[in-house]
A and B are shown apart, each in its own frame.
Chain A
Amino acid sequence: MKRFAVIALFALALGGLVWAQGTLSINAAGATFPFPIYSKWFDVYHKSHQGIEINYQSIGSGGGIKQVTEGTVDFGASDGPMNDDQIKVFTQKHGFGILHFPTVLGAAVPAYNIPGVTATLNFTPAALAGIYLGKITKWNDPAIANENKGVNLPATDIIVVHRADGSGTTYCWTDYLSKVSQEWKTKVGKGTSVNWPVGLGGQGNEGVMGVIKGQPNAVGYVELIYAIQTNTPYGNVQNSSGVFVKASLAGVSAAAAGAAKNMPDDFRVSITDAPGKDVYPISTFTWLLIPEKISDPAKRAAITGFLKWMIKDGQQYCEALAYAKLPQEVAAKELKAINKVQ
């Protein structure tokens, strides 16, 4: 018995050691918003670069920012850019800064599950703000019904769903609401985690979508692809020009057009509620958070290699998953910025 145990132990240790050679494992964590495209990218990249495994854990943008700051992951991902305080904390902790690299553009859509309603609803900014402030409580409230004449909205209670975890999608949504509703701005504000007036919490885009699908009369905000992949109806949002726009690649790209021309060097921009009649107003970039210095040369090569691949080849996978490609100007600027990673 003892002999067996000793041999087993030895074999385990040896196996563990042997197995550890040969592949480069990179750990990343963060946003659930782009998880569908990231999981596709890392999978394709691994197939073409057999020795490199990028293990991305979709734990929410808040988690991405936190864990990359703690240094427990090699890079993070977030759709809410790190604010100055968070960047300061990172720099103080590590002695060097952190860089934002936009990857794709996406849209946060109001997805709903109203029994008997399959039509695409129109939502005004006031309606969305009112729903999330808890002021509009029934589906047949005039604020919603007036824009949706011809749809038989029930007199049922609206079940609001939001994120329970720290989320860039929340950042995008609350950023938009803060721009279109003064009451929201003062009462709640914008951030990856806010003090929600009403609603159920779901974990990640996945969790919110799960709650919406399971809960009749629910509405929640998710990234476009989650609504599409689960065949969930999502509404049109009225943009700043008064047009009701359905989230689409064109609408999201239009939202980014203005920002693309004046992209700051650190790539941190908000493109919610952008001007223009084709614009989908709740659009956002999503970023990879890469430390300025990566000490392990193999990891540095792998990560910068991935970034280059992502900008040049990876973009072709975006549209099939309902994310918009990076604007040309942004992509070009980013390629140059990769050299900043030492």
Chain B
Amino acid sequence: MSGRLRWRKFVSGFMLAMTGVCALITVSVLFFVLGDLVLHGGASINWNFFTKLPTPVGEAGGGMANAIVGSAKLLGLASLIGVPIGFFGGVYLAEFSGSTAAFVVRYAADLLNGVPSIVIGIFAYALLVLPFKHFSTIAGSFALGLMMIPITLRSTEQFLNGVPRALREGSMALGASKWKTIQAVVIPAAYRGILTAILLAFARVAGETAPLLFTALGNRYWSHGWNEPTASLPVVIYTYALSPYEDWHRQAWAAGLVLLGLILIINIVARAILSRGISVPRP
């Protein structure tokens, strides 16, 4: 073997090993993030954290009960807004639309997907906070719901399109109308993929902070109904992390752990559904 060939082989082995190192570094960041959250936040996850309201500044023993419930309300309403629009929009694209309409709708969805979340916050503020003169859960949910639409829409379209034509044609041959076909045959066939997309969209907006800053604002108490400002996990993490109080820092870590844990679990479940690792009851 000539020297030059030996060198080239060495370079090849070295560079490929380096790429392995790159992959290792990237993946280890995930475990580092999780590990840090567990380390700093694990100890602070106690009964108080889940059940108590915030205490006055400087007094220990407060919790994040209102932020947890607030996030649940925000995400629940956001899903009610974003999922139907995304889902039925996707059905339209896959089943009913002509090519121009499809192009326009897809373009709009992609555009919406690329809008930075802080700009979505500005939009929701201008539309739902200013005219009605209060910060509210609805405004926050609207902002989050908007962010769920593009993912749901594109995935619904994609998975509906993936259903084989033979299934549709078979249904039609049996005398079902187009809508009946879609409802009873196509959608159930694509059910897994669509559900996965909805879960992923949900997980994506669960951690969003910026759009909530000027829509849901914050609340030191329980937020009643849907028209009041509400505390939420991401915003509380942000506020507490920037504060100088050790107790608040610990709570921020704990909240971070809870939030990330929730998001990761949803992601894992969603992907498992898609790869048929989990069986899902048919609608």
A residues lining the B interface (CB < 8 Å): 1-2, 9, 12, 16-17, 19-20, 23, 25, 27, 29, 35-36, 39-40, 42-43, 46, 53, 55-57, 70-73, 202-204, 206-207, 209-210, 212-213, 225-226, 229-230, 232, 321
Contacts and interface: CB of A to CB of B under 8 A. Distances in A.
B219 interface: yes
A294 to B, nearest CB: 13
Contact of B57 (A12, A39, A55, A207): A39
Contacts of B130: 70, 72
A70 to B, nearest CB: 6
Contacts of B217: 27, 29, 57
B164 interface: no
A55 B242 contact: no
A101 to B, nearest CB: 21
18 contacts: A1-B282, A1-B283, A20-B227, A27-B228, A35-B57, A36-B57, A39-B220, A70-B130, A71-B133, A72-B134, A73-B135, A206-B243, A206-B245, A207-B243, A229-B57, A229-B244, A230-B245, A232-B244
Interface in B265-283: 281-283
A17 B129 CA distance: 20
Given A25-B228, A72-B129, A53 B134 contact: no
Contacts of A40: 56-57
Given A9-B80, A70-B133, A72-B133, A210 B242 contact: yes
Contacts of A73: 134-135
Given A55-B221, A210-B242, A210-B244, A27 B135 contact: yes
A16 B226 contact: yes
Interface string B243-255: 1110000000000
Where chain B touches its partner, the secondary structure class is loop
Contacts of A213: 244
B224 A27 contact: no
A252 B239 CA distance: 29
Given A16-B226, A36-B57, A36-B58, A25 B244 contact: no
A226 to B, nearest CB: 7
Nearest to A8: B76
A56 B220 contact: yes
Interface in B78-108: 80
B245 A229 contact: yes
A202 B129 contact: no
A320 to B, nearest CB: 10
B182 to A, nearest CB: 16
B162 interface: no
Contacts of B220: 39, 42, 55-57
Contacts of B222: 19, 53
B55 A1 contact: no
B55 A43 contact: yes
Interface in B16-56: 55-56
Contacts of A57: 217-220, 229
A24 B59 CA distance: 25
A2 B281 CA distance: 12
Nearest to B57: A36
Nearest to A57: B218
B225 interface: yes
Nearest to A12: B76
Interface string B203-243: 00000000000000111111011111100000000010011
Contacts of B218: 55, 57
